[in-house]
């Protein structure tokens, strides 16, 4: 049986890889937008779209994580209730 209090942690290498990948992709997209043969307002639109996409991606990731953690908490509560009921149950008790 798994330990419900144990949390999985990301390694520093995974964190570094995620930060580096985000930095490279964000920088490459910015450079790509800057080098497009477009008017200033068109570049501005693409830049604002890129920033909105990044912020909505962070929001989505947070919502998914919070939803997952909420489910884990409910499972822990249900398991604790079941364990308490099983501990209190006496199979030899006579019910009259």
pLDDT of amino acid 15: 86
Q: Residue 85: its pLDDT value, please? A: 81
Cβ contact 33:47 at 8 Å: yes
Q: Which tens digit of pLDDT belongs to each residue from 25-66? A: 999 999 999 999 999 999 999 999 999 999 999 999 999 888
Per-residue pLDDT, 1: 44
What average pLDDT does range 74-94 have in this prediction? 78
Q: How confident is the model at residue 3 (pLDDT cuts 50, 70, 90)?
A: low
Helical packing angle, 40-88 and 12-35, nearest 10°? 160
C-alpha of 63 from chain center:
7
């Amino acid at each position: 049986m798994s330990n419900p209090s144990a949390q999985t942690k990301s390694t520093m290498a995974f964190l570094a890889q995620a930060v580096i990948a985000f930095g490279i992709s964000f920088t490459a997209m910015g450079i790509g937008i800057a080098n497009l043969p477009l008017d200033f307002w068109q570049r501005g639109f693409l830049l604002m779209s890129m920033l909105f996409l990044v912020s909505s991606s962070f929001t989505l990731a947070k919502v998914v994580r919070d939803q997952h953690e909420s489910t884990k908490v409910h499972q822990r509560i249900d398991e604790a209730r079941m364990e308490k009921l099983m501990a209190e149950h006496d199979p030899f008790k006579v019910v009259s």
